[in-house]
Chain A
Amino acid sequence: MRRNSTMQEKQLINKLKELQQIKPRKDWVILVKNQIISQPEKKQTHRFSDFLSVFPALVYQRKLAYAFATFLFVMVGMFGLSQYQVTEQPQTAFVSQENQLQNNFETANKKLDDLTQIVKDNKTENIAPAIKDFQASISEATRSLISNISQKNSKSIKDIAIQVKKIEDNKKQLQTLGVDLGATKESKDLNDALAPLVQQEINDLEKTTLTEDQQKIMQEVKDLYADGKYSDALEGILMLNN
Chain B
Amino acid sequence: MDNYQEQFSHIYDQYIDKIYRFVYFKVSSQEIAEDITSKVFLRGWEAFQKQELAQRGNILNPSAFLYQIARNAVIDHYRDKAKMKVISTEITPQIVDPKVGLEEGAILSSEFQEVKLAIQNLKQDYQDIIICHYIDDMNIPEIAEIMSKPEGTVRVMLHRGLKALKKEMEAKKVIES
Q: Which residues of A contact B (CB under 8 A)?
A: 8-9, 12-13, 15-25, 28-29, 32-33, 35-37, 39, 41-43, 139, 185, 189
Contact = CB atoms under 8 A, between A and B. Distances in A.
Given A19-B135, A24-B16, A29-B16, A42 B50 contact: yes
Interface of B: 1, 5, 8-9, 12-13, 16-17, 20-21, 24-25, 33-34, 37-38, 41-42, 45-46, 49-50, 53, 101, 103-104, 107-108, 111-112, 115-116, 130, 134-137, 162, 165-166, 169
A37 B135 contact: no
B46 A37 contact: no
Given A36-B38, A185-B1, A24 B112 contact: no
Q: Which 9 A-B pairs have the closest CB atoms?
A: A16-B134, A24-B20, A32-B38, A36-B45, A21-B107, A19-B135, A23-B17, A15-B115, A33-B12
Nearest to B137: A20
B41 A22 contact: no
Contact of B20 (A16, A23, A35): A23
Nearest to B25: A19
Nearest to A24: B20
A15 B21 CA distance: 15
B135 A28 contact: no
5 contacts: A19-B135, A24-B16, A29-B16, A33-B13, A37-B5
A42 B46 contact: yes
Contacts of A37: 1, 5, 8-9, 12, 45
B12 A43 contact: no
Interface secondary structure of A, over-half rule? helix
A13 B134 contact: yes
Given A12-B169, A22-B21, A41 B108 contact: no
Given A19-B112, A23-B20, A189-B1, A39 B42 contact: yes
A191 B54 CA distance: 33
Given A8-B166, A9-B166, A12-B162, A36 B134 contact: no
Nearest to B54: A43
Nearest to B23: A24
Contacts of A13: 134, 162
Contacts of B41: 32-33, 36
A20 B108 CA distance: 11
A16 B45 contact: no
A23 B33 CA distance: 11
Contacts of B34: 24-25, 28, 32
Contacts of A28: 34
The interface centre, meaning the residue of A9, A13, A15, A35 with most chain B CB atoms within 10 A of its CB, is A15
A228 B42 CA distance: 24
Contacts of B165: 12
A12 B42 CA distance: 34
Contacts of A29: 16
Contacts of A139: 1
A97 B112 CA distance: 44
B50 A19 contact: no
B37 A24 contact: yes
B162 to A, nearest CB: 7
Contacts of B12: 33, 36-37
B135 A20 contact: yes
